[in-house]
Amino acid sequence: MGRIEEFLVVFFVGLLLFGPHKLKDIASSLGGALNEFKKAMNPEGQNVQPHAAQQPAYAQAAPAPVRRARKSTAAKKTKASRA
């Protein structure tokens, strides 16, 4: 729990010093710098994800099918009584 408390203290101090708009700008520029650093660390330009590269194509999980909820008999009866 010590790390979360430290993060909150640093966040609130930064919020008080810079304000919400400037803090947003600082965070976006920091994120852009991290992305550029990641690109520089990968000189071949390959965006390989380690987990996806190790698993064969057939081992990847398929998305779960979407099922519609069935109407209850009470809903059917009220609909029939309205007509």
76 lies in some domain: no
33 lies in some domain: yes
13 lies in some domain: yes
Dihedral of CA atoms 38, 43, 47, 51 in degrees, nearest 10, equals -80
Each residue's pLDDT tens digit, 1-14: 678 899 889 889 98
Closest by CA position to 27, among listed 15, 9, 44: 15
51 lies in some domain: no
Dihedral of CA atoms 23, 25, 29, 31 in degrees, nearest 10, equals 60
**Mean pLDDT for all residues in the chain:** 75
Following DSSP, what letter does each residue of 30-70 receive, concatenated?
Answer: HHHHHHHHHHHH-TT-----HHHHHS-GGGSPPPPPP-PPP
70 lies in some domain: no
Range of the domain at 10: 1-46
Quickly state the pLDDT bin for 75 (edges 50, 70, 90). Answer: low
pLDDT > 80? residue 38: yes
63 lies in some domain: no
Closest by CA position to 71, among listed 59, 62, 60, 79: 79
Question: What integer is the mean pLDDT of 50-62?
Answer: 59
Number of domains making up the chain: 1
5 lies in some domain: yes
Say if residues 15 and 23 touch (Cβ distance below 8 Å): yes
27 lies in some domain: yes
Domain CATH code at residue 29: 1.20.5
Quickly state the pLDDT bin for 23 (edges 50, 70, 90). Answer: confident
